Amino acid sequence: MSGTTSTLPGASDAPAPTTPHPRRWLALAVIAISQLMVVLDATIVNIALPQAQADLGISDADRQWVVTAYTLTFGGLLLLGGRIADYWGRKRTFGVGIVGFALASAIGGLAQTGGLLFAARALQGAFGALLAPAALALLTVLFTEARERAKAFAVYGAIAGGGSAVGLVLGGVLTEYADWRWCLLVNIPIAAVALVAAIPLVPESRAHGDTRYDIPGAVVVTAGLVSLVYGFTKAAEDGWDAAATIGFIAAGLVLLAVFVLIELRSSHPLLPLRILLDRNRGGAYLASMLIGAGLFGAFLFLTFYFQVVLRYTPVKAGLASLPVTLGVLVAAGVASQLLPRIGAKPLMLAGAVLAAGAMLSLTRIGLDTSFVAHLLPAQVVLGLGLGFTFVPLSSLALVGVPEHDAGAASATLNATQQVGGSLGTALLNTMYTSAVAAYLVGRMPDPLTQAKALVHGYTVAFAWGAGLILLSGLATLLLIKVRKEDLATTNAVHLG
């Protein structure tokens, strides 16, 4: 689920050229290729993870770092990446992001240890945090006419939505018929094509004005999040009452508190706190974080259930995961029609109930659960819940936001999803490993018991995921008071 929202830093303050760029549609194709690379990377790696874990000898407690190392650096550095693109030059930042992403993919694809794979994934996230906002800011500069801009962002959005489905299938094909490493190495030719085409086709642009960056804020918030996730990982290994667990979690919370203080005192904050303090936007960001927390880990465990317990091949596992994407696409279309009529809150509440219900349905899985009778409808309903939730979230993120804060507000929404996914994946993986260990206590470790223990761990993780999604619904119910009439005012700054 790595991706971008429809507006990012730089998207609102880019100076509009007086005449349209003559090669803007070719430039759109280049930018779309780069977006496809980033979106593919999220789902393609999930399908490859069971084989990568076995090949590199990664423990169950540590395997979540393949996901969280990426989402932490991407989410933590996204806002800074947007400002760098604004002031350093969007084309230059775009090019550096492509090259860095490709190099990081090469390191990950050639990694011989779990630690090197985790580091490569973190590097991918860091360069993705440069690439994504630069790409969207370039689209805003290139397409200044309203109708053309709508078409351009429709293409970009289709890549973001359909790319995850392509990643599931491509990940299965590469893992099964080549090697899991190609799920990372495939980024190299894609990046090469995008870079070679970008040099002549994509114009340079930059924002004018003060060019100071909030480097301390970016470093402190990322360090705090890493410390929290590492604390959750230590809980899986040593227990919640272990000194290391408590120490890392406490350090993470302290660093996040320091981040708030830095933002309050900074003249150019990474995250202007006025964006968060509005009741509706704050509720939207909290709901976004909780949904991300509940879902990222769930997708990870569904992949392992398909391949480890049901013995699906990687290709079959990729195809078996597609119903979620189908549900999202259907619900997103319906939600976009209903949003102006009934407002954001009813859609988000319905989405939370549907998604949580689907997750609870997944707690009923067993050693030989029917795909058609159980797993297929559960995934479709889960996708419907996501679609009904994410569409109104994009609008709520911009309710009442001044135009100069529009990029930061929308990027914050994306960052909360990534950060929530990082924390949730680590937390759910800890609950999973603890549940498996508890199930095996006093039982003979024969293959059947081992399989039952894995299924028990997955169901516990799904139950926790459902709880986090219900908490997002509670946040929506209590905090979001925006009327449907108020959402219309976001159209002036919302670029999607």
Give the predicted TM-score (pTM) of the model. 0.84
- Helix, coil or strand: residue 232: helix
Does residue 452 have a pLDDT over 90?
Answer: yes
Number of H helices, E strands in the chain: 18, 0
Helix axes 146-177 and 114-142, enclosed angle (nearest 10):
160
Does residue 14 have a pLDDT over 60?
Answer: no
User: Whose CA is closest to 303, among 324, 333, 334, 282?
Assistant: 324
Sorting pLDDT into bands at 50, 70 and 90, what band is 15? very low
Region 280-309: mean pLDDT is 90
Give the HSE-up count for residue 358: Cα atoms under 13 Å, Cβ half-sphere.
26
Does residue 407 have a pLDDT over 70?
Answer: no
> Two tokens at 242?
């272990």
Region 42-67: mean pLDDT is 91
| pLDDT value of residue 11 | 44
Does residue 339 have a pLDDT over 90?
Answer: no
Residue 219 CB-density burial (10 A; 0-12 exposed, 13-18 middle, 19+ buried): middle
Region 381-408: mean pLDDT is 79
Region 439-459: mean pLDDT is 93
| pLDDT value of residue 211 | 62
Does residue 491 have a pLDDT over 50?
Answer: no
Q: What is the largest CA-CA distance in the chain?
A: 75
Region 219-232: mean pLDDT is 90
User: Whose CA is closest to 81, among 29, 127, 23?
Assistant: 127
Distance CA 173, CA 169 (A): 6
